[in-house]
Amino acid sequence: MSSQLQPPTENKMGVMPIGKLLLSMSGPMMFSMLIQALYNVVDSMFVSYISEAALTAVSLAYPVQNFMIAVATGTGVGINALLSRSLGERNFPMANRVAGNAIFLGLISSILFAVLGTVGARFYFQTQVTDPEIIQLGCDYLFWICLFAIGLFGQVLLSRLLQATGQTFYSMIIQMVGAVLNIILDPILIFGLFGMPAMGVAGAAIATVISQFVGTALGVYYNRKKNPDITITRENIRPNLPVIGRIYSVGLPSILMQTVPSILIFGLNQILVSFTETAAAVYGVWFKLQGFAFLPIIGMNNGMVPIVAYNYGARKPERITGTIRLAITWSLCIMVVAIALFQIFPAQLLGFFQASGDMLAIGVPAMRTLSLCFIVGGFTIVASSVFQALGKGFLSMTIAVFRQLLLVLPLSFLFSRIGGLDLVWWSFPIAEVLAGLLAGVYLYRIYQKVIRLLAEDGYKF
């Protein structure tokens, strides 16, 4: 996508002061992630005006949507780490092959989801609820999201190519334009404004698809015109099995790690609907609202990963440790603000979703309990991203599986039997604390066995 094969000087990720670098890399991504979080919340807010059944349907559909996002972003993590490391090693032919295979993987993944999602949507909803209205609304939503999955994969993977080469400003523009356009189109297509037909939840899905295609178009433009570190040719797009294997050696654990929430949500919904379908709607709202806390940290991590990976390839351990310390500090500051908001204003937050009296009675204590996860959640997310950047994605996966499948689901099931709905919410902060301890142990071992030894002569990657 560029005629320049080699950048003339070393990439800024190897020379710029750490504080300034992390801010320049992460600032745009944190801002774009906040916009994404706003979109996620506003999308559900508009749907809640249709009916509580519509909100429940979209909440039940989210595990499938999240699985698609997991495959896209997990593949992007593998691409990001390998591409940044290749640039750090100044292996530009490998960097170009990685970028080309990113395009190939996006095309194949979108075709698979288009087939599986459109064929299996009704069966998926029938395994969870019996209400025909919720089932139909959910199918209406998933049909469009899955059929045009290529928009999601194009937007995410092209953004990751920009992030991996330090062009996070353009990545931010892609995410921001897509999210803002989605927010604008949502009420127009859902409620039928400006002469458009009212399409309900299907309109919400179509608004999402349109915004993703616009993001993809911007991604193509910026990679062609503004990304001098990579050159994508038709030859590089051809599948290269060794390159794909290296991408997924990091990306697959990330995909599995991000798929775990989908499994968690699906399993937890089965527990919650045994009390009331409103409880599932409350959890769906919580999952969207927590994005305001966690997505800025994920945005920061998107800027941190290429920095750590680049300096790993360049064998600069002091820049790696400085970046990690600063990222952890910033994440803790974000979490302090988040937990204060959820503890003080839970009713007001639920009020944005047309919460009924029953929904408030369930949701207010739930929000206060669930937000206790923020105390250690930020640290765990940063540590997991460090493992991915260093090619140790399996460690991130084990943390996610340990927290959400081995702890949250069994504890939720147990608490639902012995203490009722309010006790179910406590499974989350308990699991988060234990997962944070495991992440701390892993991070210490990575420092001792990998980072600290980088500068020693004879050390092998």
CA distance 363 to 261: 20
Q: Note down the domain range covering 279.
A: 12-451
**Does residue 272 lie within any of the structural domains?**
yes
Return the SS3 of 355: coil
Better-predicted residue by pLDDT, 169 or 337: 337
Could you read off the pLDDT of 251-294 as tens digits, one per residue?
A: 887 787 777 777 888 888 889 888 888 888 888 888 878 877 78
Q: Structure tokens of 362?
A: 């369930």
**Does residue 233 lie within any of the structural domains?**
yes
Could you read off the pLDDT of 192-219 as tens digits, one per residue?
A: 998 899 998 999 999 999 999 999 999 9
Please state, in angstroms and as integers, the Cα–Cα distance from residue 90 to each residue in 98, 269, 294, 380, 410, following that order: 14, 48, 33, 31, 47
CA torsion angle 201 118 279 421 (round to 10): -170
Is the pLDDT at 42 greater than 90? The verdict is no
Q: What is the pLDDT of residue 37?
A: 67
Give the angle 377-380-382 at the CA atoms, nearest 5°. 110
Is the pLDDT at 8 greater than 50? The verdict is no
Residue 426 confidence class, pLDDT cut points 50, 70, 90:
very high
Q: Tell me if 60 sits within 8 A of 134, measured CB to CB.
A: yes
Give the angle 62-177-56 at the CA atoms, nearest 5°. 20
**Does residue 461 lie within any of the structural domains?**
no
Q: What is the pLDDT of residue 3?
A: 41
CA distance 13 to 306: 8
Any idea which residue has 């897509």 for tokens?
A: 178
Q: Which long-range contacts link 36-39 to residues 24+ away (Cβ below 8 Å)? A: 36/175, 36/179, 36/291, 36/295, 37/288, 37/291, 37/292, 37/295, 37/296, 38/179, 38/183, 38/292, 39/179, 39/180, 39/182, 39/183
Q: What is the pLDDT of residue 36?
A: 65
The share of the chain scoring above pLDDT 70, in percent, equals 93
Segment 222-235 mean pLDDT: 81
Better-predicted residue by pLDDT, 439 or 252: 439
For the chain, the domain total comes to: 1
Is the pLDDT at 351 greater than 80? The verdict is yes
**Does residue 460 lie within any of the structural domains?**
no
**Does residue 190 lie within any of the structural domains?**
yes
| DSSP structure string for 138-173 | HHHHHHHHHHTHHHHHHHHHHHHHHHHTT-HHHHHH
Q: Tell me if 22 sits within 8 A of 247, measured CB to CB.
A: no
Q: Tell me if 268 sits within 8 A of 283, measured CB to CB.
A: yes
Could you read off the pLDDT of 135-177 as tens digits, one per residue?
A: 899 899 999 999 999 999 999 888 888 877 777 788 888 888 8
Of the candidate ranges 12-26, 48-62, 164-178, the one whose mean pLDDT is the lowest: 12-26
Q: Tell me if 149 sits within 8 A of 109, measured CB to CB.
A: yes
Residue 360 confidence class, pLDDT cut points 50, 70, 90:
very high
Segment 435-451 mean pLDDT: 91
For the chain, what is the mean pLDDT? 84
Is the pLDDT at 456 greater than 70? The verdict is no
**Does residue 75 lie within any of the structural domains?**
yes
Q: What is the pLDDT of residue 461?
A: 45
Segment 315-320 mean pLDDT: 85
Q: Residue 41: CB partners within 8 Å, gap ≥ 6? A: 288, 289, 291, 292, 352
Q: Tell me if 81 sits within 8 A of 305, measured CB to CB.
A: yes
Return the SS3 of 65: helix
Better-predicted residue by pLDDT, 37 or 311: 311
Could you read off the pLDDT of 104-133 as tens digits, one per residue?
A: 998 999 999 999 888 888 988 888 888 889
Q: What is the pLDDT of residue 32?
A: 66
CA distance 195 to 183: 18
Is the pLDDT at 6 greater than 50? The verdict is no
Best CA proximity match to 282, nearest among 407, 201, 205, 370: 370
**Does residue 304 lie within any of the structural domains?**
yes
Best CA proximity match to 142, nearest among 41, 65, 54: 65
Best CA proximity match to 349, nearest among 371, 364, 339, 362: 364
Residue 9 confidence class, pLDDT cut points 50, 70, 90:
low
Better-predicted residue by pLDDT, 435 or 17: 435
Residue 371 confidence class, pLDDT cut points 50, 70, 90:
very high
Could you read off the pLDDT of 384-410 as tens digits, one per residue?
A: 888 878 878 788 878 888 888 888 889
Is the pLDDT at 459 greater than 70? The verdict is no
The rounded radius of gyration (Å) of the Cα atoms in the chain is: 22
Residue 453 confidence class, pLDDT cut points 50, 70, 90:
confident
**Does residue 42 lie within any of the structural domains?**
yes
Is the pLDDT at 78 greater than 50? The verdict is yes
